Chains A and B, each alone.
Chain A
Amino acid sequence: NAGVTQTPKFQVLKTGQSMTLQCAQDMNHEYMSWYRQDPGMGLRLIHYSVGAGITDQGEVPNGYNVSRSTTEDFPLRLLSAAPSQTSVYFCASSPEGLGGNTIYFGEGSWLTVV
Chain B
Amino acid sequence: GENVEQHPSTLSVQEGDSAVIKCTYSDSASNYFPWYKQELGKGPQLIIDIRSNVGEKKDQRIAVTLNKTAKHFSLHITETQPEDSAVYFCAASRGNSGNTPLVFGKGTRLSVIA
Name A's B-contacting residues (CB within 8 A): 4, 31, 33, 40-45, 48, 50, 58, 90, 92, 96-103, 105-108
Q: Is B96 an interface residue (CB 8 A)?
A: yes
Please report the C-alpha to C-alpha distance between residue A68 and residue B35 in the assembled complex, in whole angstroms: 28
Q: Which of A31, A43, A97, A105 contacts B45 (CB 8 A)?
A: A105
Q: Is B93 an interface residue (CB 8 A)?
A: yes
A90 touches B43 (CB 8 A): yes
Q: List 13 A-B contacts (CB under 8 A).
A: A41-B106, A42-B89, A42-B104, A43-B44, A92-B43, A97-B95, A98-B93, A99-B96, A100-B32, A100-B96, A102-B34, A103-B102, A105-B45
Residues from chain B with a CB closer than 8 A to the CB of A33 are: 101
B106 touches A48 (CB 8 A): no
Q: Which of A44, A96, A99, A106 contacts B43 (CB 8 A)?
A: A106
A42 touches B106 (CB 8 A): yes
Residues from chain B with a CB closer than 8 A to the CB of A97 are: 95-96, 99
Q: Which of A40, A42, A100, A103 contacts B95 (CB 8 A)?
A: A100
Residues from chain B with a CB closer than 8 A to the CB of A43 are: 44, 89, 104
How many Å from the CB of B58 to the closest CB on chain A? Answer: 18
How many Å from the CB of A88 to the closest CB on chain B? Answer: 9
Please report the C-alpha to C-alpha distance between residue A32 and residue B72 in the assembled complex, in whole angstroms: 28
B89 touches A40 (CB 8 A): no
Residues from chain B with a CB closer than 8 A to the CB of A44 are: 104
Q: Is B61 an interface residue (CB 8 A)?
A: no
Please report the C-alpha to C-alpha distance between residue A20 and residue B97 in the assembled complex, in whole angstroms: 31
Please report the C-alpha to C-alpha distance between residue A96 and residue B42 in the assembled complex, in whole angstroms: 23
Known: A90-B44, A99-B99, A100-B95. 17 other contacts (CB 8 A): A33-B101, A40-B106, A42-B6, A42-B89, A43-B89, A45-B101, A92-B43, A99-B32, A99-B93, A100-B96, A100-B97, A102-B46, A103-B34, A103-B102, A105-B44, A107-B43, A108-B41
